[in-house]
Structure 1
């Protein structure tokens, strides 16, 4: 007589996940209309058709029934700022005045560990409510902001990347570190948090104008010394910002080349925005294994510009989607898909819903060099997944009541869905959010 291992769980629903990019492969996804996801000890054991997998379960296994809903991998948000949760939806005529008026004064408060922890708790709960289980997160210049974030994320068993912002010029004195001290603090935090539980460290120069050449050089050396860490920063977000970078770094070919010059372009490097990159820049992104975090919501909010999906795809640049809270106005990756679709149309291209869901799951995992760990339901992957409810609102229920394809179903969720569409969120096989009906 077989017994059920105490760590074995099974979930019945429609299953969706990816094994390739739909932009380049006709058969890129797996879809099981009546599916079963089997999880053991926090990892995926199997995913497939319910009828085929049910007989493989030990007698007495409890199956959590989400019939009528969709289980997919947890969303991965590759660029956002947890300290900016309190200043989301703040008006400003552009990026640089927005930083001066709202961002810097808000981040000043994060030298207080209690404030940092309270904000991190709220931020992570909001991500989970929206179905995001992994994120690339900017903290502030304060070490306490990083400690508070990882303490809160590890309490929820989340796989998160985050880092202390490096900023030693062109910013208020109350947020300014030094080239040497900022990198020393970063190295201490790497040794404390990187690879601890599910935490990953990201070396985080805010953007080239706020780091001296000495700080950029030292940060590049730190990245070379710790090759499994991440690098995250901003590039080519705003036309005025790009002009400023040309004035500050006249010897470099482009804004992106500033980062390449200091050793930042490599696998596990995630560059936010990338709106004003040229063909050479995109080619270098692809050649170095660097990745783009596309931030459509914040780019529209600040009037920064429209990302060129076709140009990036022409050289197979690694792409992912990101909310960029707090310039982004929603924590929801579904709402971010909504804006990404519109950006692509305005730029003259088209994003199918399958591609958008790929970019928010496996595409992001590939950008972070984490395929096989998160992002799909490959056997052995960590069991981060969400349950989406296509009938969560009267409008979605009406629209999804007459569908002709999976593409239509996903498109309706992307264009009409938000946090209400997330019925439940699981991290490493543990329920960490459930919607109150």
Structure 2
């Protein structure tokens, strides 16, 4: 019931979720209950994801984010330190399952949630990976892949923080590939050669253009990039080298470098390392397109935080309870992402019942009929009762005008729409109650 209420109201605040004092007490006690584990919340979500991931090529997109509670420090207990080493909070590291072909969000496949309670050891770099916080990239991905039992092919996607030798050495298997953006100019098998210079001097294979997503301080823009690719042999780093890992790994490197960037500082240069076969321009572009899907997890974090669920505003005090709440918030934010990325043709492959109950679907039928205009362009273009059909209605309630040529609705629009929809459903239930 709590997860459904969190999704309907897109909130982690007990006061917003509860209709009565009794409900508020019950919801708070649930997250304080030591018999409720964050692992079980995540495993349950992953089991649901496994059902829809069967038979697909699935991207397992990982990333980390801090949940900062410093503004409420006087009312919190049992938390650790976050990125700046001073503020209190916790960390979340989800593994999001995304269809590699159509980009639909399948669900949460795994997550690691923790509090940083100790400083790095002086010999941190020499420690085995299992004793480092960075093991999250391996442990979370392995748990996610194990949960997706009937998925024939998975690609673990990570940003620069995941450029770890052990990730390349330990994650790939007969159904698992890796795709990581390189940050380290690694030594190659060839004496004296380095990764970045080796790929840079490879002949240009062709070009690619796409819309680069906006970020704070950087507006969206269309970029044209030169594409290069080559097979590379990475040497195992000497510091912290583990005898269980091979001394050398053969991977494929793909570099995309922006042509005529607005400035040298803003130039797009991605160096991607993957176990996928890359021997043509088309296969190199396919790798770039898979990496571009990583943007979805950034949307997920914004949804968890101030743009929607606002996890950092929770009044729950205890660290253990806040970890359980964070697990629930990741599940709920993933559902919002399923709406956001189910708004087009990919959403036609799923039923609205995936996210909405029968009463809500009845209300959607009536609302969509009312929201549709007289012209064909103003009508819901999707098959009735599909996820895309429902997403159209929720987006319209959130302020989107319904025209395909307009900017697609994002997490904020869907958050507004879901909250308005929840109020309408509550009114419908009250009006039809005997």
Which TM-score applies when normalising by structure 2? 0.31
Which TM-score applies when normalising by structure 1? 0.31
